Structure 1
Amino acid sequence: MDDFIDPSRSNPLQGWTCSSNEAVSFALVMPDDIVSGTIDESITFSPKYTYPFFGQEELIFGYKGLSIELYFTSGSLYPYFNVSYEDKITLEIAGSLCKAQELLPPLLEKWPQSSSGQLWTNDMSYFRKRVEEDAKTFRPMGTKIFEYEKDDAVYEIYHCTFDTPRFKEYHRRLQFFLLFYIEAASYIQEDDKRWDIYLLFEKVNEGGRLFYNIVGYTTCYRFVYFERCAIDRESESRGESPNTAARTRIRISQFLILPPYQENGHGKMLYTTLFSLWQSDADIADIVVEDENDGFATLRDRCDLRYLMAKNAFAGVKFPMTLHDIAEFGKPHKIGRMQAERLLELGLLKSLAPSDKASYRKQVIRRLYQYNETELSGLEPAEMKKKLNDAYSAKLEEYREVLNTI
């Protein structure tokens, strides 16, 4: 037994590292969620990312039994931030004390600060008072543009800008969630007047008590671009500049439904409400999305495809199509060329006739090659063909998963 080496004794730092994703917990708190001074664990949820605060490895050093509680009043998002742990490292190695990692400072660095007072608490009794006050007094800001009912509850969508009273401070709290749930998310500039922000709230009426819970939101950027118009040959021959028309484009930048409300159709309702709103706005030429993740891309595909199918937009449309043809297909629906191309592939696959399969495959393969030309150009022909065939098969499987939900 003398030769046995206890691993825990050979590595004194073992056991002092934990996952920051597992240590952090969130909650959107209503009055009935606090019992005997503690939060009902059934309402808590976990972050998707914590690297903006604790590093790319998403690990925290120096604690055992660590819990980082980030709880918020469900309407105004006033926070309770608290750290607890079973043990904290006090180990000295080679004359140097091993220090536990800082916890609250990285979080507070991203949280809004105020010269008039601290915008958070770690006092549960005070937080409970804020929760009760919040339920009585908090009301959404901005202009209500739509409401809908789902599962015996009412949901309302509000439009805000940074000039909307009370909104700027509220947005500073709300955007904190982006860092935990959208990869590579960043804060937007408050001094830019071209931002439109849409907030989704749950309106709760319990026994005569009326209060609002935040469900999600999206930020949208409105900018002007110039579209080239038809030019008569005579003016072109004189060397005159081409005629252009100013057009407005809406770009969806950030889109977040908070975890307690996900997988319940609220993302679809928010997106389709805004899509319909912009469709009816004659000043808006097209709608695009900035760096969409897979989840939002799927949501967008489903919503756009349902819209086009309801319009019977695919009737008489077949591949092959040029890029100009694809752009023209999307233009009446204010859908940009890249999204129109994807929707055409989805829509035509749904009712693909055997006689059209070859042209369909050729069109999709061509797009896959164009989008991956740099990677594919250095391959041998046989290997390139295999990769394109594999990519085509994977794309069909992806499309069929979307179509199965339509």
Structure 2
Amino acid sequence: MDEPDPWTSDANQAVHISFIRPGESSSKAPSTVHPKFTYPIFGEHEKIFGYQNLAINLRFTEHDLRPHIEITYDKKYRPLGETKALDIKETLEPFVAKESFDKAATYNDRIQDDAGAKDFRPPGQLIQSYTSKGRNFEIWSGDLRDPDVRALVDRMQVLVSFFIEGGTPLDLEDQEWSLARWRIYLVYEKLRIVKPKMANYSFVGYSTSYQFIFYTPRTSKSSEPQVFMIPPSTPLHAADLPSRVRISQFLILPAHHSYGHGSHLYDCMVKTMLASSTCIEITVEDPSEAFDDLRDIRDYARLSSKGIFPKIKLNSTIDSKLTMNRSGLRVPTSQLIDRTLLETIRRQEKIAPRQFYRLIEMHLLSQIPPHTRQAGTARLTQKGRSSNPDDRAFYYWRLLVKQRVFKQNKEQLGQLDRGERADKVEQTVGEIVGDYERLMLMMKKWQEAEAKSNENEDQRQLNGPKDRGKRKVLEDDDDDTDMETPKRARSEVL
């Protein structure tokens, strides 16, 4: 094993991130975390050359995220030919706000003497309030045309590189019409007990969304394109046009995990988009597996709460001869399920097709008894001719899923011979069943946890508010997630 280079530091360990709550006479950092990623800043290997005992301390004030960077080390490598220590300040400058490199004394004095801190309010508009574990939280929203929103985003941008894999900072110098297409959602804790000169708000996390103009092609019934009418006297902005809204960055700070913020933030964003007259469809940009789970569970819960699922049934009484063919991929889906009804619901709920049909498949699978669906294909020898209605339902459900898998991966599957293609589709459907079973179990646990949380919250309300001591930081996190950009290899992507 090679000896470690004494002049090379692990960038992830060298960077220390803390959020401070300025007091009357001192600023204390209650907790410090390391970034998950530093390769966007320090390169693929996430190493920093030229220092011994290196520490890069990045502090933010909890309310307005005023940043400060202090770089310390014991020794710095003396240049030898073309080999020299990395210029850390120069490397960081493109990723942080310009004010980050003020002198430590200047920074400390500025935040201690900030007379406006007690009057701080998050930029934008308050759109939702909620309580979790006896603490109060708010979600605020605004677009990048607002200079206060833009200033806050400028300060938090470096967190994208540190915690969202593949995430890229927003271009805050873009034209106004383009800035209007970005909406920022900010989660803050509303503090109950504060000292003089202290802010009442503490930053928890945020998400962004972006509007893509929705193109409606000509229909077969008319040669004329569909037109979105705007009164002549109304100023035209890109944000006012029909669009697909794409959820982009999504981040909850580590110290605030396990409070359900991910669920509250996602639900709030979707509610806002559903109420928008210009949003046609809600999409997500390259979600991580964790965010995919969050999205699946919250979308499923929303459709369930609206009473939509009882309307959707799988017809398992069709003539089995209709499904008898050599490839096993051509399925009379129009007889298995009401596609017209599904498309109407999908458009009303503004869910992207791929996501919507996953939810429908999960619902239909949940209607089949566990002992039937967990037995796999072994008991489906009679296929659609089985006298057992549950076996027939599971058989037709698998055919329905096979067709979707085949359509979504037609190009890749077309490169395989018939036998390999059938085996691959069969394998993929088996993985989908396993994934849905996992999600249904997770949803059951979430529902139990939510019910328990509601009971505890009711009890807190009866007992009345109590003064809090030090903030407890919980590391375990089942329902909060950041959004990472590598595409998730869902089980049906071959």
TM-score (normalised: structure 1): 0.82
Matched, 1:25 2:5: no
The residue type paired with residue 273 of structure 1 is C
The SS at the match of 1:308 is: helix
The residue type paired with residue 333 of structure 1 is E
For residues 7-406 of structure 1, the aligned pairs below 5 Å read 14-31=5-22, 39-40=29-30, 43-90=31-78, 96=81, 98-113=83-98, 118-123=99-104, 125-132=105-112, 133=114, 135-190=117-172, 191=175, 192=178, 193-207=180-194, 210-227=199-216, 236=222, 240-244=223-227, 247-319=242-314, 320=333, 321=337, 326-352=342-368, 354=390, 355-406=392-443
- For structure 1, the residue ranges without an aligned partner over 5 or more in a row are 1-5
Contact 1:149 1:155 survives alignment (8 Å): yes
Q: Which has the higher contact order (CA 8 A, sep 6+)?
A: 2
Distance 2:2 2:398 in 1: 57
Quote how far apart the aligned CAs of 1:153 are: 1.8
The residue type paired with residue 129 of structure 2 is E
The SS at the match of 1:77 is: coil
Contact 2:18 2:33 survives alignment (8 Å): yes
Contact 1:33 1:39 survives alignment (8 Å): no
Distance 1:331 1:397 in 2: 28
Quote how far apart the aligned CAs of 1:332 are: 1.7
Distance 2:50 2:413 in 1: 47
Distance 1:323 1:187 in 2: 40
Distance 1:266 1:34 in 2: 32
Identity, in percent, stands at: 28
Contact 2:204 2:252 survives alignment (8 Å): yes
Quote how far apart the aligned CAs of 1:312 are: 2.1
- For structure 2, the residue ranges without an aligned partner over 5 or more in a row are 230-241, 315-332, 370-389, 444-494
Contact 2:21 2:29 survives alignment (8 Å): no
Contact 1:327 1:336 survives alignment (8 Å): no
Distance 1:359 1:128 in 2: 67
Contact 1:50 1:58 survives alignment (8 Å): yes
Quote how far apart the aligned CAs of 1:208 are: 5.4
The residue type paired with residue 264 of structure 2 is M
Greater mean deviation of Cα atoms: 308-317 or 183-192: 183-192
Q: 1:102 to 1:349 in 2, by over 3 A?
A: farther
Aligned-residue CA RMSD in angstroms?
3.0
Contact 1:70 1:81 survives alignment (8 Å): yes
The residue type paired with residue 13 of structure 2 is E
The residue type paired with residue 81 of structure 1 is I
Question: Who is 1:3 aligned against?
Answer: none
The SS at the match of 2:214 is: strand
Q: 1:71 to 1:208 in 2, by over 3 A?
A: closer
Distance 2:2 2:440 in 1: 53
Q: 1:75 to 1:243 in 2, by over 3 A?
A: closer
The residue type paired with residue 144 of structure 2 is F
| Count of paired positions | 380
TM-score (normalised: structure 2): 0.69
Quote how far apart the aligned CAs of 1:29 are: 1.1
Distance 1:53 1:79 in 2: 17
Distance 1:314 1:33 in 2: 55
Deviations 1:330-387 (A, max 9, x none): 1121212121112112222222252311122222233333333444433344444443
